[in-house]
Structures are given as structure tokens and as C-alpha cells.
Amino acid sequence: MEVDRAAVSGNLSLVLGEITDTAAAISEEQLAAVSLLLERADRVFVAGAGRSGLVLRMAAMRLMHLGLQVHVAGDATTPAIREGDLLLVASGSGTTSGVVKAAETAARAQALIAAFTANPGSPLAAVADAVVVVPAQQKTHHGSGVSRQYSGSLFEQALFVATEALFQSLWDAVDVPAEQLWLRHANLE
């Protein structure tokens, strides 16, 4: 297999264009609602599967840099979620069983749930207190015309952009210098 420079250039433009269009279509009101939940939460938990889960792990790191108490569901040291906490979840389809079960568990514990999904009619959206609809194709909707990229790539890319926008907005609100956030950066690398 040999890929030429023109193909790489064209696909770089494709990916950037799709991310830009999709991120621009995310509701600012929905993101602001999640921001309010993050500000008010005693602790923040994140749960996602696959690449969406990896994006939420990156978001968890940034929120920790801000000084929030953040836990990743499934880690050995993650405590029980409880009332006053927030569960941040993501699933393009909104039907990923482990993610939906985590949200249902959080709801039973009276924690709040903020969900990112491409499917506003999903079981995940139904249990959430705040939903951010990412208008990207779901990973099994091949040939939908929403994206030329493979599987759920566009959802995951837009999820990253949305969580970075949340971090940036929260950081702007606290007006803490980057040097102070850096003190929380991992030093056991």
C-alpha cells in the first residue's frame, strides 16, 4: 500500500472540515448546562468505552488540573458515586451497555449524569440530567453520508473538542495561571 502526499493532504482537509462543521453544530446551551453541573459537583466521575472512554480520560486529566476531584470508572481506586457527584459519560449510540449501566447506577445513587451522544433518543440520554448531542454518525451507520471517516471517528473527535471547550471555559472562569495548574500535572511519568 502506498499513499501519496495529495491523498494525505486531501484527507487532512476532510477530517478538519468535518470536525469544524460538527463542533460548530453542538449546542452551546447544552455545553453550558454541563459546565454548570461540573462547577457544582462534589466529585466528577467519567465513564466511556473504547475511544470515547479514552477521550473522557483526557477530559478527566484536564479537570483534575483545574483542581476538581475526578475519578475514572473502573479504576481500582475509584470510590462509590453518591449524591452530589456528577457522572460524565459518552456513547455515540447511547446504547453501550457498560456506559448505560454506569449511568443507571449513578442515577440510583442520586448522582447527576451528563451524557454526550449522537442519539438523543437513546437509553443513555433518557437517564441523563444533561445531554449534549454531538451530530455525528454512530459507529455502525456506515454510508450515512454524515461523515466519510470510519466508524465513530467523527463523534470521538468532536467529543474531544467539546470537552476541551468545557475545560477552557471553566479555566477562564477561575482565572488561575497555567503555572498553578502545572503543579497538578503528573510527575510520575
Over 90: is that where the pLDDT of 92 sits? Answer: yes
Phi-psi region of 178 (alpha: psi -120 to 50; beta: other; left: phi over 0): alpha
Structure pTM?
0.93
| pLDDT at residue 50, rounded to an integer | 95
Adjacent-strand bridge partners of 114: 88, 130
C-alpha cell at 179: 503555572
Decide yes or no: CATH 3.40.50.10490 for domain 28-183. yes
Over 90: is that where the pLDDT of 114 sits? Answer: yes
- The C-alpha atoms of residue 122 and residue 81 are separated, in whole angstroms, by 23
Please indicate whether residue 108 or residue 139 has the higher confidence score (pLDDT).
108
The pLDDT tens digits of the residues spanning 126-178 come to 999 999 999 997 656 556 566 767 668 899 999 999 999 999 999 999 989 99
Please indicate whether residue 85 or residue 1 has the higher confidence score (pLDDT).
85
Pick from 156, 183, 152: nearest CA to 64: 183
DSSP class of 114: E
C-alpha cell at 88: 460524565
Contact 109, 82 (CB under 8 A): yes
Over 90: is that where the pLDDT of 189 sits? Answer: no
Non-local (6+) Cβ contacts of 188 within 8 A are none
| pLDDT at residue 75, rounded to an integer | 96
Active site amino acids: 156
pLDDT mean over 58-66: 97
Q: Tell me the domain boundaries of the chain.
A: 28-183
| pLDDT at residue 98, rounded to an integer | 97
Non-local (6+) Cβ contacts of 78 within 8 A are 45, 71, 72
Non-local (6+) Cβ contacts of 176 within 8 A are 66, 67
DSSP string for 14-37 = HHHHHHHHHHHTS-HHHHHHHHHH
